Amino acid sequence: MSLSRRTLIGSAAAATSLAFAGLGSRARAERVVPNTDPGYVNEVAAYGPLVEDPNRLINLPKGFTYKIVSRKGEMMDDGFFVPAKHDGMAAFAHTSPDKVVLVRNHENGIKAREAGPLGPKGELIGKLDKARVYDFDDSGFPLTGGTTTLIYNTRTQQLEQHFLSLIGTTTNCAGGSTPWGSWLTCEENTARPGMGVKKDHGYIFEVPSGYKGLAAPIPIKAMGRFKREAAAIDPRSGVVYMTEDMGDGVLYRYLPNDKRYLHSGGRLQALMILDSPGADTSNGPAVLWNQGDSFKVAWVDLVDPESPDDSLRLQGRQKGAAIFARGEGIHWGNGELFFACTSGGHKEYGQIMRYVPSPYEGTADEKNQPGRLELFIESSDLRVMDYADNLTTAPWGHLYVCEDRYSDVLVNHLRIVTPQGRVATFAANASGGSEWAGVTFSPDGSTLFANLQDQGWTVAITGPWGAFSDLPVQG
């Protein structure tokens, strides 16, 4: 079946609703039991085979093109350098219909001075408003994690502005967008004073997409302190869901007192499978469930969210919370949530979970109709999907998933997952082993943006999005 661009883009809202409303049920109807045959490939044709890039940078299907729009080390409009380690990212509408705002994370660690915005020797430190720096290392040098903001014209395909928007945080891995147009950036580092820093880390920070300059570096402490990977908000209830990049992590949710002001405080909880308290969802070594299976859930309360000993996940597990193998990318679809468990699965090639909230999510009535957690994808073939990480939903309902396997022999890809749970290959990093990260679509669906972390590139990809084919491919 081929779908026209007009069908996909022009009816984006309807397509998304249809795709995600039936995503889990159709996946169950076409359950793909993991196959140990090394020749088995569960793929669809999608946009066709990848074409080798003569520049040996990014391989894409025929008709698609990429443009590198931002590189680490370039000078930005505010006089600072583009930091390295591009990671999670989201696209926001601009006041001009031709433009899009990107807010991008930088996963620079505590000692990554040379990779930051202040220059290899810190020569630009005098330009920095230190009142807008969250934290400094032991020597007094600003930490170089944080975010940058880019304004890109999708019509002219030109980057028009870019500038620093948060500094002084560390290891900003992924995050999530809010319904009111800001970016929640997450620290995947729980360093404390005495560990090379002066303040506690492991928090979430909010960066407005419409503000030019450095955001106020205020951690939202009630949302918990842990090695947080990403966040997603249900726009109906205001509930925030968060992943934890640990082999024994849990899935968190935050019930804010004021769903438009996350600093207002709230309750922090962890997901528990009702039929199996303390369950290990990874299927290793014992198999808990098969692809397409789902369980009813409950949520257990967590106390002391600032967790000085980084034990929130352990507290959750003592109360029956489920274990997830390296929860990473998370994204809200239409009425449901998807998140990746990078090293989950019986073969440890990765999983994608689907969560459908209760109609009474976060209230006392949810026990009468609990939310459900589904094992949507479990890879049994690393050629189909390997180490799923950041992910997003296209306006027409497909998941786009970044791979994050560092290897001398494996190549990282951008994968597509259809509403039927079939996987397709969309892009390959032909330039080296670097992970893909930060995949996101412009609001009009015309442009896919993504990062190649080690290279320090942000790329814009365009092409015939409506030419998708769901014909099966067997390899």
Q: What is the model's pLDDT at position 38?
A: 33
The CA distances from residue 278 to 160, 229, 322, 466, in Å, are 50, 21, 5, 44
Give 198-207 pLDDT, tens digit per residue. 999 999 999 9
Q: Is the pLDDT of residue 296 over 50?
A: yes
Q: Residue 419 — pLDDT band, cuts 50, 70, 90?
A: confident
* 288's tokens: 């808990």
Indicate the Cα dihedral angle 341, 342, 347, 353, nearest 10°.
Answer: 20
Q: For the segment 47-77, what is each residue's pLDDT rounded down to a tens digit?
A: 999 999 999 999 999 999 999 999 999 999 9
- Which residues on neighbouring strands pair with residue 100, listed in sequence order? 93, 152
Cut 0.85: pTM above it: yes
- pLDDT higher at 449 or 1: 449
Give me the pLDDT at residue 33, please.
Answer: 33
Find out whether 425 and 43 touch, Cβ atoms under 8 Å. yes
Residue 25: its pLDDT value, please?
A: 33
What is the share, in percent, of the chain residues with pLDDT greater than 90?
84
Please, which residues have CB within 8 angstroms of residue 303's CB and are 6 or more apart in sequence?
A: 315
Contact (Cβ atoms closer than 8 angstroms) between residue 279 and residue 297: no
What confidence score (pLDDT) does residue 444 get?
A: 95
Whether 319 shows a pLDDT value over 70: the answer reads: yes
pLDDT at position 13: 33
For the chain, what percent of residues have pLDDT higher than 70? 90
Every domain of the chain and the residues it spans:
1-70+381-475, 83-219
- pLDDT higher than threshold 90 for residue 129: yes
> Rounded mean pLDDT of 160-182?
98
CA distance 461 to 475: 27
pLDDT class of 3 with cuts at 50, 70, 90:
very low
Q: Which helix (H) or strand (E) holds 428?
A: strand 423-429
Nearest of 134, 90, 83 to residue 106 by alpha carbon: 83
The stretch 14-25 carries a mean pLDDT of 36
Q: Which residue reads 């025929």 in tokens?
A: 62
Within 10 A of 148 (CB to CB), how many other CB atoms are there? Answer: 27
The answer, yes or no, to whether residue 32 has pLDDT greater than 90, is no
Segment 326-333 mean pLDDT: 96
Q: What is the pLDDT of residues 209-221, one digit of tens each?
A: 999 999 999 999 9
Confidence of residue 43 (pLDDT cuts 50, 70, 90): confident
- Separation of first and last alpha carbons in the chain: 20
Main-chain phi, psi angles of 444, to 5 degrees: -85, 0
Say whether 131 sits in a helix, a strand or coil: helix
Residue 24 and residue 356 in contact, taking contact as beta carbons nearer than 8 Å: yes
Instruction: Using CB atoms within 10 Å of the CB of residue 97, give its burial: 0 to 12 exposed, 13 to 18 middle, 19+ buried.
Output: exposed
Going by C-alpha positions, the residue among 222, 255, 263, 220 that lies closest to residue 237 is 255
Instruction: Give residue 474's pLDDT.
Output: 58
> In this predicted structure, what is the pLDDT of residue 285?
87
Q: 185 with 207: CB under 8 angstroms?
A: yes
pLDDT over threshold 90, residue 8: no
Q: Please tell me the distance from the alpha carbon of residue 80 to that of residue 56, in angstroms, as a whole number.
A: 30
Which of 7-21, 242-256, 356-370, 381-395 has the weakest average pLDDT? 7-21
pLDDT at 401 over 60: yes
Residues contacting 96, CB < 8 A, separation 6+: none
Give the pLDDT confidence score for residue 432 in this predicted structure: 80
At residue 177, does pLDDT exceed 80? yes
Looking at residue 17, its pLDDT comes to 35
- Across 307-350, where does the E strand assignment appear? 327-332, 337-341
- Determine which of 6-20, 328-342, 417-431 has the lowest per-residue pLDDT on average: 6-20
**pLDDT tens per residue, range 105-116:** 999 999 999 999
**What confidence score (pLDDT) does residue 31 get?**
31
Closest CA to 311 of 222, 267, 241, 250: 250
As a whole number, mean pLDDT of residues 214-241 equals 98
Residue-averaged pLDDT of the chain: 90
The gap from C-alpha 180 to its chain's centroid, in whole angstroms, comes to: 18
Question: Residue type at 140?
Answer: G
Q: Give the pLDDT mean for 442-461.
A: 97
| Structure confidence at residue 406 (pLDDT) | 76
